[in-house]
Amino acid sequence: MDPMRHGIGPFDPGEGAAARAPAAERPSGGRRRISVMGQEGAGLPAFHSWVAGREVEGRAGARPAVNPATGEAFARASLLDAAQAGEAVAAAQSAFPAWSRTSFRERSRLLDRLRQAIVDEADDVARLVEREQGKPFAEALAAEILPSLEALAHLSAHAEDLLRDDALEPGQLLLAHKDARLVYAPIGVVLAIKPWNYPWAQSLPVLASALVAGNTVVLKPAPAATLIGLRIGALARKAGFPDGALNVVSVDDGVAGALVEDPRIGKIVFTGSVATGKKVAAAAAKNLTPVVLELGGKDAAVVCRDADLDRTAKGIVWAAFLNAGQTCASVERVYVEREVAEAFLARVLQETARLRPRDASGEGEVGPLTLERQRRVVAEHVADAVAKGARVLTGGSPAEGPGFFYPPTVLVDVDHRMTIMREETFGPVLPIQVVASLEEAIRLANDSPYGLTASGWTRSDETARRLQRELQAGVVSINDHVSSFGEPTAPWGGVKWSGIGRIHGQAGLREMVQVKYVSLDRGRGPELWWYPYDASLAPLLSRAARALYSISLLRRLKEQLGLLRSARLWRRFGAWRLLANLDKLF
Ligand code: NAD
């Protein structure tokens, strides 16, 4: 085996006797060593969690890392038990006070070092992604590595500005003298739970946002992409993050559930399915732990009669089959206006026919599905559609041979009675429904419990604006789809069942902080409304109500002049303060 080619990279399995030493809690930072446990996948190279800057071998057994192109295990990851996972939270919690006091300059320096560490090993990481998750090498670079580098560069350069205190201009006359600001304070320990479909690009921007904002992190990779997550831990160690600032835990879903309920967790950023997202939200509610939920999608693309059909077909075919359709924001349904349906379909079929399955050398466009069970879901959705009258124009049944391949599939004569138009398929299937009008397309696109992203394909600015306004989704793109995920200023997240909150952009960064209102009063005497409630106060306050809030200008003016005759106002508020804020009175 060529470990570089197969994505194990510098952590190659053949390191001799030292490699077989117990891995539990051994110091790390150099080359990763291998242990052999008498459990599942024994004899394969083993990888371990990162807790408090150390590589920790789990006591709860191991899970194999399976290459979806062959169905064969090539490594394994040990699993932490609940107590060990709790130690990761404790490590993050004890690292928090010092980390939250570091300057933005220091945090940016470490993000830059992490970026460089990723750049140095980019090809190797992309090969690991190809091997463990399945997307082609080029796609791993395009859709995992580059967006993560861009996010790191952006956060390093701009986080300080984006999280700078906001000075407030008070609106209330009686409070106007206070020096008031909004401070964006770190929360504490952020638990990031990640899916297998974009294990790298989904993890890096979130953990970098959390860290740069002053939080510490426990990252929980998906079972099917554990090695990729553990690699992040190794690179963070290499970059020099302080012990405990970033912990990466390989755990089973039961232990993940226990982490969600851990009261030491300050915020949860969960990316995954709607079903698990609802469970996480319910469990987090026990401690009122705030959550960001980035969940599934059933993204619609609306093809208008005036669309540039060449670009549209190429764009939609790419956005449907990218990552073998296992993209939360892949095009999962198309509504095309009847006038152009035939011409559009011909182009879609032409583009689809060009796609090659990804072969063992990494050539080709469409990789295997990451999981066998995901391939079964795809087959079930296609079978349901065909049973209800859909026609398969290409593809339509699992590929022969090893691995979890399913060919790019195009369906027509579909409608909303079919599962394929209502539930997330998460596979390389493009169902296309012909519609009579733009109205019908928008109505059908919005007839969904999901609302992650959507796209419209048109040459008209007016139609573009209408689609941007009316399509119910967290992201609406015109003449493109999905790619804003790679733009670090663009917030990412859905509406309806597609989620709560945002990652990326300023909105995503602000999810990683608590907004704190701080004020400073340099006054000496008591405030106007403090005790005693003597005879002068009530008449003064009723007059203040009329003076400040009457809708008649004349009435306000009359009462304002009356207000200025109040001795208590002058005494308590002070002449200088009153004069400085007269604009708020008048
Ligand atoms: P999943 O819901 O099965 O698992 C997601 C993560 O949750 C995994 O790490 C899993 O181990 C963990 N988990 C499972 N049970 C848990 C529990 N009880 N408590 C805590 N954690 C638990 O999702 P998946 O199959 O890994 O990912 C695919 C889904 O993710 C798709 O629906 C896809 O659309 C969605 N997704 C959404 C986005 C987005 O940005 N909105 C991005 C990528 C993927």
User: Which ligand 1 atom lies nearest to the CA of residue 498?
Assistant: 41
3-state secondary structure 501-558: CCECHHHHHHCCEEEEEEEECCCCCCCCCCCCCCCCHHHHHHHHHHHHHCCCHHHHHH
Q: Which long-range contacts (CB under 8 A, 24 or more apart) does 534-538 make?
A: 534/568, 536/566, 536/567, 536/568, 537/568
Span 205-262, pLDDT tens digits: 999 999 999 999 999 999 999 999 999 999 999 999 999 999 999 999 999 999 999 9
CA separation for the pair 530, 537 (Å, rounded): 10
Query: Ligand 1 pocket test: which of 79, 193, 218 has the largest number of ligand atoms within 8 Å of its C-beta?
Result: 193
Å from CA of 262 to ligand 1 middle? 19
Using alpha carbons only, how large is the chain's radius of gyration in Å?
Answer: 28
| Phi, psi of 135, deg, nearest 5 | -70, 150
| Phi, psi of 73, deg, nearest 5 | -75, 140
The secondary structure element, H or E, covering residue 449 is: none
Q: Which two tokens stand for residue 356?
A: 């090659």
Ligand 1 atom 15 nearest Cα: 253
Q: Which residues are catalytic?
A: 294, 328
Query: Ligand 1 pocket test: which of 226, 273, 287, 483 has the largest number of ligand atoms within 8 Å of its C-beta?
Result: 273
Nearest to 80 by CA among 269, 230, 239: 230
Å from CA of 271 to ligand 1 middle? 5
Span 91-150, pLDDT tens digits: 999 999 999 999 999 999 999 999 999 999 999 999 999 999 999 999 999 999 999 999
How high is the pLDDT of residue 5?
Answer: 36
Ligand 1 atom 10 nearest Cα: 222
Q: Which two tokens stand for residue 142?
A: 């395009």
User: Which ligand 1 atom lies nearest to the CA of residue 494?
Assistant: 41
Residues of the chain with pLDDT under 70: 1-41
Amino acid at 198: Y
How high is the pLDDT of residue 20?
Answer: 29
CA 335 to chain centroid, in Å, comes to: 27
Q: Which two tokens stand for residue 561?
A: 């002049």
Q: Which two tokens stand for residue 534?
A: 């003597």
Rounded alpha-carbon distances, angstroms, from residue 174 to 203, 533, 541, 560, 579: 47, 17, 11, 14, 12
User: Which ligand 1 atom lies nearest to the CA of residue 224?
Assistant: 26
Question: What SS3 class is residue 30?
Answer: coil
Å from CA of 246 to ligand 1 middle? 20
How high is the pLDDT of residue 40?
Answer: 56
pTM for this predicted structure? 0.92
CA separation for the pair 335, 303 (Å, rounded): 6
How high is the pLDDT of residue 524?
Answer: 84
Protein residues with CB under 6 Å of any ligand 1 atom: 193-198, 202, 220, 222-223, 253, 256-257, 260, 271-273, 276, 279-280, 294-297, 328, 424, 426, 452, 494, 499
Å from CA of 295 to ligand 1 middle? 7
Q: What is the 3-state composition of the chain as percent helix, strand, coil, each rounded to the nearest 5? A: 45, 20, 40
Å from CA of 195 to ligand 1 middle? 4
Query: Ligand 1 pocket test: which of 198, 226, 228, 253 has the largest number of ligand atoms within 8 Å of its C-beta?
Result: 253
Query: Ligand 1 pocket test: which of 271, 291, 294, 475 has the largest number of ligand atoms within 8 Å of its C-beta?
Result: 271
Å from CA of 122 to ligand 1 middle? 25
How high is the pLDDT of residue 95?
Answer: 98
CA separation for the pair 304, 317 (Å, rounded): 16
User: Which ligand 1 atom lies nearest to the CA of residue 274?
Assistant: 32
Cα–Cα–Cα angle for 317, 487, 121, rounded to 5 degrees: 90
Amino acid at 411: L
Ligand 1 atom 17 nearest Cα: 257
User: Which ligand 1 atom lies nearest to the CA of residue 328?
Assistant: 34
Å from CA of 293 to ligand 1 middle? 10
Ligand 1 atom 9 nearest Cα: 222
